[in-house]
Amino acid sequence: MLQTRVNLSRLTSTVLPPLLAFILARLLLAWSARIAGFKSTLASTWCRWDSAHYLSVAKGGYELFSCARLPGYNPAEWCGNAAWLPGYPVMIRAVSLVGFRPEQSGVLISAGFTLAGLTLLWNAFLGPELTARGLLTLALAALFPGHVYYAAVFPISMCVFFQMLAIKLYDSERFLLAGIAGCIAAFTYSTGFFLAFVFGLHLLVWHRNEGFGRLSVNVLLAAGLTFAGFLAVILVQRMQVGVWNAYQLVQAKYHYAFTLPWIPLVAQVHGSFRPNAMLARQASFVLVMVGLLLWAAFKSPRSLLDSLLAIYALTYWLVPLMLGPGYVAVVRAESMLLPMIPLARKLPVAVLVVLVLVAFLFAPQIGSMFFQGKIV
């Protein structure tokens, strides 16, 4: 009887908090869909914009053709679905084998990885002791800016899960396994390979005293294998469409270009004061949150994990800003910041309460904009 009680208590403390956080976020998204005029029980409700490209890759593989075939496009540019990575479509195709439609498979996969990510966060990074900081950090993760993309037919939740897993394995100095998890993330979403830079920089700065030989091996395992995930994408597309640069050809028509990060930052903050500027307000909220988490990372005492998460936060916040919205949609770029959230465990409880409340207030508005097709 005592053993049963111990097992039940352990199950409750490890499984119940992330499950409840997951349910809370899903209920909020379901309400957002309802006020936008959509039924959350339909798989089609969770399919918007790029969902069609991922589904097309899952159903028929990659294609590359001249944009002259499509009205309104520059005939000198290239169209097709090669700008979208294959990890998520592979999962959709696998789940569809048991009888689900591809759209349903995508919804199930996104939900599964969202719950898995919250469970990993809770058990590997936050305790899992039932403390106010831990529970508030978990709630903030469940309501994280852009969390509608974790539920939608998009690969965000899958990529974020493998990134968090890679970070945990890296922190445990299991660099081979970290590289494998990072490789899957890089095979899944267009910014997943940024993690290779995060690992490489952290190894070179914080592990530089370990000797050249060991350092080189660790860089190759963690950073090299992660980047190999993106190289695998190029190989898959070469096999299917016959060219090595299919991804680049399709991406080129979006005309993203390097810009100084403070230019979009100033525009976002300034736009926050205008009416009906929800995206700018959320971007300003993300700016404040990133600043607070970086402060939390470098206040004493510091750890190797905190420094790694700080590099991750700066990389995944600044690079999309510098490449512009043509590379990654703003809200989706914000949603990719979730792996930095363990830093929030070091914030004061009062600050965490405010962050959770703001995230809770913003979530229905961003969700409704997604369902109405106002954000991509």
pLDDT in tens, 222-259: 999 999 999 999 999 999 999 999 999 998 887 766 67
Is residue 2 situated within a structural domain? no
Q: Which residues have CB under 8 Å from 40's CB, separation 6+?
A: 29, 30, 33, 34, 46
Cβ distance 148 to 156 under 8 Å? no
Give me the domain span that covers residue 361.
Answer: 16-371
The stretch 86-105 carries a mean pLDDT of: 96
Distance (Å, whole) CA 297 – CA 71: 50
Is residue 255 situated within a structural domain? yes
pLDDT in tens, 277-310: 888 889 889 999 999 999 999 886 778 999 999 9
Does 371 or 253 have the greater pLDDT score?
371
Q: What pLDDT score does 193 carry?
A: 96
pLDDT in tens, 110-155: 999 999 999 999 999 997 778 999 999 999 999 999 999 999 999 9
Q: What are phi and psi of 65, to 5 degrees?
A: -150, 165
Nearest to 338 by CA among 15, 10, 20, 21: 21
Q: What pLDDT score does 73 carry?
A: 85
Does 27 or 253 have the greater pLDDT score?
27
Is residue 8 situated within a structural domain? no
pLDDT in tens, 313-345: 999 999 888 876 555 568 889 999 999 999 999
Ramachandran assignment for 301, one of left (phi > 0), alpha (psi -120 to 50 degrees), beta (any other): beta
Q: What pLDDT score does 300 carry?
A: 67
Is residue 321 situated within a structural domain? yes
The DSSP annotation for 172-236 comes to: TT-HHHHHHHHHHHHTTSTTTTHHHHHHHHHHHHHSGGG-HHHHHHHHIIIIIHHHHHHHHHHHH
Confidence of residue 208 (pLDDT cuts 50, 70, 90): confident
Average pLDDT, the chain: 90
Is residue 3 situated within a structural domain? no
Is residue 5 situated within a structural domain? no
pTM of the model as a whole: 0.93
Is residue 336 situated within a structural domain? yes
The stretch 189-207 carries a mean pLDDT of: 93
Q: What pLDDT score does 280 carry?
A: 84
Residue whose token pair is 């899992």: 128
Give the amino acid at 212: F
Is residue 208 situated within a structural domain? yes
Task: Give the count of domains, the chain.
Answer: 1
